Structure 1
């Protein structure tokens, strides 16, 4: 695991225990609140973050955010049983329905304990923490339940898995809605864009992803420079064609 500062208030914990990609957990600290974006793969993975929370001299309120229901973003929820965990209302439903399946399919990645613990606060469109300048909003794309977070003070946009390099994973066949979400990102005019598996994204990456999605939806023939990208593209095609 690697730890990096991404702003005066925000830190990213970068995990490399899953082969093929890195996974990011974000820690945003304000005067009275700490926001933790996603909880990775279990109690052991959250120990460094809990140690930091417990070392806070001001006993700050901790708010945990699940960007979507996928296992590599939620298995550490059990480390925050006494804290508020926020997600989209669909995330809670999908996580409840798919918990055992996701455990069975990916149990080798569990770090410590991964007990089922669902978000206890949900929303439909948007929820804001005005004093801290933190806005959570529904941003369907990678999955239908995906949410994003915008820090109005630092102008940082946290997009979950809606953006990823070198290529996105499409698990929701509603491509037009995905494109609308990406176009809406541009309205925030972020200074920095970070994602669940990729750091240092730009507005050009948003535009490139929109073009990819348009090509995906029309069956446009596209060239990819690596076997990995070709493999993911074929999977994305199958999702769109089934939809």
Structure 2
């Protein structure tokens, strides 16, 4: 696990326990709150984040955000059982329905405890913490329940799994909605973009992802440099072909 500063008020905890990609958990500190975006694979993964929070001499509220329902972003929720956990309303429903099945299929990745802990606060379109400059907004794309976070003070966009390098995973075949979510990102004019599996993204990555999605929906042929990219692309094609 590596820790790196991504903004004046935020750090990324990057984990490499899962083959093929790094997964990030973000800790954002504002005037009166800590925002934890995603919780990775269990209670042991959250220990360094809690240690970082405890280094602060101030008694600040902790708010947890689940960007979407996938297991590698929510299993550490149990470490925040007495805190507010926020997600989209669809995310909570999917977690309630699929928690046990995700455990069954991916048990080998559990770090510590991964008891079922659902979000206790949900929203539909947007939730804003005005005093903190933090905005949560619905951004369906990678999954139907995906949300993103924008820090207005630092102008950092936290895109969940909607953006990823070298290639995105398409888990929902509503490509037009995915593209609209990405186009909406541009309206925020972020100075920095980070995501669940990628750091240091640029505005050009939004444009290239939009072009990839358009090509995917049109059946366009692509050339990739690595077997990994080809594998994910074929998975994306199969997702597109699902009815």
TM-score under structure 1 normalisation?
0.99
Size of the aligned set, in residue pairs, is 243
Q: CA deviation at 1:224?
A: 1.2
Residue 182 of structure 1 corresponds to 182
Q: How far apart, in 1, do the equivalents of 2:7 and 2:183 lie? A: 25
Q: How far apart, in 2, do the equivalents of 1:22 and 1:193 lie? A: 16
Q: Does 1:115 align with 2:115?
A: yes
Q: CA deviation at 1:232?
A: 0.5
More displaced 10-residue stretch of structure 1: 53-62 or 75-84 = 53-62
Q: How far apart, in 2, do the equivalents of 1:190 and 1:152 lie? A: 9
**SS of the residue 1:78 aligns to:** helix
Structure 2, unmatched stretches of 5+, are none
Matches within 5 A, 1:1-243: 1-243=1-243
Q: CA deviation at 1:8?
A: 1.1
Q: CA deviation at 1:80?
A: 0.2
Query: Over residues 147-168 of structure 1, what are the superposed CA-to-partner deviations in whole Å (9 max), with x where a residue is unaligned?
Result: 0000000000000000000000
Q: CA deviation at 1:56?
A: 2.6
Structure 1, unmatched stretches of 5+, are none
Q: CA deviation at 1:215?
A: 0.5
Query: Over residues 59-116 of structure 1, what are the superposed CA-to-partner deviations in whole Å (9 max), with x where a residue is unaligned?
Result: 1000000000000000000000110000000000001111111001100000000000
**SS of the residue 2:128 aligns to:** strand
Q: CA deviation at 1:53?
A: 2.2
Q: How far apart, in 2, do the equivalents of 1:51 and 1:59 lie? A: 14
Q: CA deviation at 1:54?
A: 2.8
Query: Over residues 32-77 of structure 1, what are the superposed CA-to-partner deviations in whole Å (9 max), with x where a residue is unaligned?
Result: 1000000000000000111222333221000000000000000000
Q: How far apart, in 1, do the equivalents of 2:55 and 2:119 lie? A: 24
**SS of the residue 1:77 aligns to:** helix
